[in-house]
Every structure is written in C-alpha cells, then in structure tokens.
Amino acid sequence: MSDAPAFAPLEGGCDCRRVRYRLRQSPLIVHACHCRWCQRESGSAFAHNAMIESSAVEDLGEPPLVVDTPSASGRGQRIARCPHCHVAVWSHYAGAGPGFRFVRVGSLDDPDRCPPDVHIFTASKQPWVVLPPGMPAFEVFYERERLWSPDALARRSAAIAAWERDHG
C-alpha cells in the first residue's frame, strides 16, 4: 500500500474567474520547459505545465477561447484563453493531441501542489535559473518510459486508446 496521500481535486481558472476548471486526477507529469519558445509565450523564464488527460478536466465556468498559435515544431499549439481577461489556462500541443491538456500551473488556485517533476530544454534556460539538486533535467527532451510512473504510462495509453476509439 502506498504512503502517498490521496489526490484531492485541484481547481483553477483565469484572473476574472469566468473560465474555471477542476482537475479530477493528479497530473501525469509536471514540466518546467525552458525552451526559448516557451520563454517568449509565457513572458517568463520557463513554462510550468501540468499534463493531464482532457477527460480528467472538468469545465466549471465559461468555455475558453482556443487560439491557434505557431510553435517551434512547426505543428502549432492551441492555447485556451479566457475570452475576457485573455489569461491562458491550458494548451494542446500538436505532439500530444487534443486528448491531453497542458494546464498552466500558475492558473491553479493552489499552484504549490504542482511543483515540476522535470525540467526540459535546459540547454536554453536562463543562466540565472538554478535547478534544484537531484531534480531530473534534460538539455532537450527525455524518454517517457524512463521517467514516468507505470500508472502515468498506463493512463496515457488508455487516454490515447479512448480518444482514437471516440474520434478516430
């Protein structure tokens, strides 16, 4: 039996509180991405995203406006923003597809509960950002199977299968 505490749902939303959501499960993984593209989009030193199945996110308020934006991969990104205050609450990256949301941790009511599990694209991190000792960090990306928990890998596979069954 695990000593980990049971997951309690997390809620979040935009600044004006019109777009609201609830995470019904723990994130699959939480990334701190230091690529230059994320630095530009976030206006900060890195993007801090909690990856979760779209089906595990309950919309509680107005629907966000989904904005298609370019990305470093050339495949684009869909950013969900409040249509009123324009705060970004999550993204759908082309590589992961619409079955997964990359929730902006800063949009959570209690962002302290989602510290990064891994720092990625650290080759372009700001030189003044100091990563915690022992924290997984990669100059570019990583091999999912080596870093993710067996539960997260199984949830990812199930979400992909469900999406393909329902939308394929």
CATH class (in words) of the domain with range 10-167? alpha beta
Q: Give the pLDDT score at 7.
A: 80
Annotated domain spans of the chain? 10-167
- Pick the closest to residue 27 from 108, 143, 94 (CA basis): 108
Question: Which stretches of the chain drop beneath a pLDDT of 50?
Answer: 1-4
Q: Give the pLDDT score at 97.
A: 83
Q: Give the pLDDT score at 72.
A: 74
Q: Give the pLDDT score at 5.
A: 58
Q: Give the pLDDT score at 73.
A: 76
Rounded Cα gap, residues 67 and 7, in angstroms: 31
- Distances 6 to 1, 19, 92, 95 between C-alpha atoms, Å: 12, 26, 27, 30
Strands 118-120 and 29-33: parallel
Per the document, the length of the chain is 168
pTM of the model: 0.92
Q: Give the pLDDT score at 3.
A: 47
